[in-house]
Amino acid sequence: MDLGLKGRSAVVMAASKGLGKAAARALAAEGCRVAISARHAETLTAAAREIEQQYGVEVVPVAGDVRNPRDIQTLIDSAAREFGGVDILVTNAGGPPVRTFEDSTDEEWREWYDITFLSVVRSVRAALPHLKKSGRGRIINITSSSVKAPIESLVYSNALRLAVVGLAKTLSRELGPHGITVHNVAPGYHLTDGLERIIVNKMQQGLRREQVLESWSRSIPVGRIGRPEDLGALIAWLAGDQASYLNGTTIPVDGGLYPGVM
């Protein structure tokens, strides 16, 4: 299936590894030029070269921190300058730490508000002039299945990612007339560093790693933990022409784990 992405340009945040890298790979596989960001320049550059060599498209690494508004603006400006515009924005950031409410602090609330929510606000603000010029812009936010059902001991994620969903729904209505669609993808258990933090927390409670993974796999209707490319494939499709009439959605990518009907 041709998704209509060849020659288009995308920005993917926090893309040196994990779900962000999977999104960048999926877009590049469809012929999309991609600018990627992350804090660690060496890892980021290695990821860019890997994707570029595999798919033969231009991949521009721009090191930066999603907490820094200047870094976000530099990323968008670099992509627009290199590609002549930005058609697709994929927001992403590292996941908050494992915390219960009683373990949370004001300092961490402020830190993760910046990382989880304000990074999306600032990225959309910086990219919006270019997305409007595109005429078929796409904003896709990588959130978490916690926006559908709270996850034990992830109070920051449970609370702050819902703000991203509310923002995205608002943007879908405001920006739809400009040809821009807005979506959230909500990954469940995927084999990433973020999942590893939860596994370590479970091990500290006395469980073995194999027990944790086996328990999760049994709870997922498809019988396995997700791979990053499972999410990447959906992001590429949402960015493409076939998804042009979808707008304002939040789509779980969790193997059917979420039991709700909406």
- All structural domains of the chain: 9-189+227-248 (3.40.50.720), 192-225 (no CATH)
DSSP state of 77: H
pTM above 0.85, yes or no: yes
Confidence tier at 213 by pLDDT (50, 70, 90): confident
Confidence tier at 208 by pLDDT (50, 70, 90): confident
State residue 40's pLDDT score: 96
